[in-house]
Structure 1
Amino acid sequence: MSMSDSFEDIVDAIQPGVKPRPGNLPGPAARVVLVLCWLALGLLPILSAVGDIKLAAGVTGTPGTLTVVSCEDLGRGRYDCKGGFAPDGGGAAVPVDASPDSEAGDVTRAQLAPEGDRAVKAGTAGVAAALTLPFLGIASLAFLPYVIMYFLGARRGRRTAVAAGAAVTVLGVIGMIAGMVAAYS
């Protein structure tokens, strides 16, 4: 038994059953479902981050200072951080949830959510951190135009769609990295 036979046995064990032939595509209804699922997968991170972007940009919420008091290790790299938020207009500090990427003792400019239960980093760093998920959504949508063109059988423009998809993916990854750096700095 050669190495390639062993490899094929492993692949067959993981993917049993009939192997699809090249050019064998799902039916039209399945294609629509696949595109809609892909679109939802890409748009949900973008839509779910709108509130945090508005908050970090100062469009909503109350400006002030966040002092992280404690961070509890929940295991598997997860943390629950608590802090006190002192509004710029004065008044008593409000106990709030802080970002899990905080450390006890951190003092930062922040915005208090209208609900009054959490505060997020404000300013450019806060906006960059809030844009991490939208950049993930953008990166995940990058090759959707190519797939739609492929499903429709379009021949013209597919190379351009691949090049644009690669460029948008790179942009999305750079945005995610910048957002994560901003969140942890």
Structure 2
Amino acid sequence: MSDSFESIVDAFQPVRPQPGNLPGPAARVILVLCWLAVGLLPILLAVGDVKLAAGTVGTPGTLTVVSCEDLGKGRYDCRGSFAPDGGGAAIPVAASPDSEAGDVTRAQLAPEGDRAVKAGATGVVAALTLPFVGVAGLAFLPYVIMYFLGARRGRRAAVAAGALVTVLGVTGMIVGMVAAYS
């Protein structure tokens, strides 16, 4: 083999860290805390949208998407008209960017009155997309903690559980995105 090919192969070979190559205890704690923050943040940020889509907060009604403006690079800004179930004047609101002009759907008006989201099971599943991102991101954290602590027992089970939780998280993300766009 040539030297350049060997260096490319060596770059992709997993290297087992030696005890002296691991980050120090303080860095390990910081890494785990950062990993926790990145994994838990999507879950915490979605609580309001899940409550709204489930109907525990907000005003029920009907959302009619009036317009969607293409902002470029696959981004859209959609506007709609929300008609509350209790009657009254229609309220101009922001609609989900995955909407299309002319869509009419059951929705919940946010307590702030500035946006409306799909209500019911479809809305809840769509709102759960972001929490599933966090679940998938946290899947292998137990294994990493065990590795940092030098635990030998249970690491294979942690890898198997991490793989299972990752599959669950990715599946939830896909189902949520399908629900959001249906």
Short-chain TM bin:
over 0.9
Shift of 1:88: 0.2
Aligned-pair identity in percent equals 82
Q: TM-score, normalised by structure 2?
A: 0.93
Q: What amino acid is the match of 2:79?
A: K
Please name the residue that 1:182 is paired with. 179
CA–CA distance in structure 1, aligned partners of residues 127 and 106 of structure 2:
15
Partner SS state of residue 49, structure 1:
helix
Q: Which of 89, 93, 96 is 2:93 aligned to? A: 96
Classify the secondary structure of the residue corresponding to 2:105.
strand
1:60 paired residue number: 57
Matched with 1:171 is: 168
Aligned equivalents of 2:16, 2:159: Cα separation in 1: 23
In structure 1, the gaps of 5 or more residues are: 13-19
Gaps of 5+ in 2: none
- Supply the AA of the counterpart residue of 1:131: L
Matches of 1:21 and 1:142, distance apart in 2: 21
1:51 to 45, 48, 55: 48
> 2:66 is matched with which residue?
69
Instruction: Tell me the C-alpha RMSD between the 2 structures.
Output: 1.8
Aligned match of 2:141: 144
Q: Deviations over 1:54-76 (max 9, x none)?
A: 00000000000000000000001
Determine helix, strand or coil for the equivalent of 1:146. Answer: helix
1:8 aligns with 2:3: no
TM-score by length of 1: 0.91
Regions of 4+ moved over 6 Å: none
Q: Give the aligned partner of residue 86 of structure 1.
A: 83
How far apart, in 2, do the equivalents of 1:102 and 1:88 lie?
A: 21
Name the SS of the counterpart of 1:84 in structure 2: strand
Q: Which residue of 1 aligns with 2:108?
A: 111
AA aligned to 2:70 is D
What's 1:125 paired with? 122
Letter aligned with residue 173 of structure 1: V
The structure 1 residue matched to 2:30, chosen from 10, 33, 37, is 33
Q: How many Å apart are 1:163 and its aligned residue?
A: 0.4
